[in-house]
């Protein structure tokens, strides 16, 4: 299983090809090490986040949302041209074709499991074994977003307290 993470120190995005067998990850940007939790895996599948040890993870399609929106908008734009030309059958065909393309992509694109806390992404076999993780929950997502905002605010307060006073 592959892990894509963001370094908490420098923000560089990194990847670990086989997260189950890697005890420590070293960032390419700042050369700091970060231990991965081996107890995050159970029975060949992911149980919790190996990066931050939280049990709150969610599943979504591993597909760029912008591309999906572009497909819908292009299909709509082409169909409106046919509607303007008073040709409803080609307009319906274009709408049906864009819906069919969307459905094909939905079933062909694999899932990615994402951690609410650190936003680490797990791909591959075992990332959502037996459907353990559910789709994004707004209440859980907002709780972790608020946690990130408070941590950033505390970091800024600590940095301003350690800086020398203006002369």
Q: What is the pLDDT of residue 167?
A: 58
Residue from 154, 119, 158, 160 nearest 136 by CA = 119
Angle, helices 88-108 vs 65-84, to 10°: value is: 170
| pLDDT tens, position by position, 15-58 | 998 888 889 998 888 888 889 988 888 888 899 999 998 999 99
Q: What is the pTM of this model?
A: 0.80
Q: Domain-by-domain residue ranges, the chain? A: 2-61+110-152, 65-107
The tokens describing 9, both together, are 């120190």
Q: Enter the tokens of residue 19.
A: 């997260």
Q: How confident is the model at residue 127 (pLDDT cuts 50, 70, 90)?
A: confident
The number of CA neighbours under 13 Å toward the Cβ of 100 is 6
Q: Cβ distance 90 to 98 under 8 Å? A: no
């Amino acid at each position: 299983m592959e892990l894509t993470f963001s370094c908490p120190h420098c923000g560089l995005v990194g990847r670990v090809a086989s997260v189950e067998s890697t005890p420590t990850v070293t960032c390419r940007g700042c050369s700091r090490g970060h231990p991965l939790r081996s107890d995050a895996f159970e029975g060949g599948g992911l149980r919790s986040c190996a990066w931050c040890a939280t049990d709150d993870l969610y599943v979504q399609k591993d597909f760029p949302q912008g591309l999906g929106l572009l497909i819908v908008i292009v299909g709509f734009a082409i169909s409106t041209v046919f509607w303007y030309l008073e040709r409803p059958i080609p307009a319906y065909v274009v709408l049906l074709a864009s819906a069919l393309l969307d459905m094909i992509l939905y079933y062909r694109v694999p899932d990615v499991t994402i951690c609410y806390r650190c936003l680490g992404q797990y791909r591959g076999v075992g990332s959502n074994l037996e459907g353990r993780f559910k789709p994004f929950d707004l209440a859980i997502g907002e709780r972790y977003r608020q946690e990130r905002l408070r941590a950033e605010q505390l970091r800024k307060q600590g940095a301003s307290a350690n800086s020398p006073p203006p002369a």
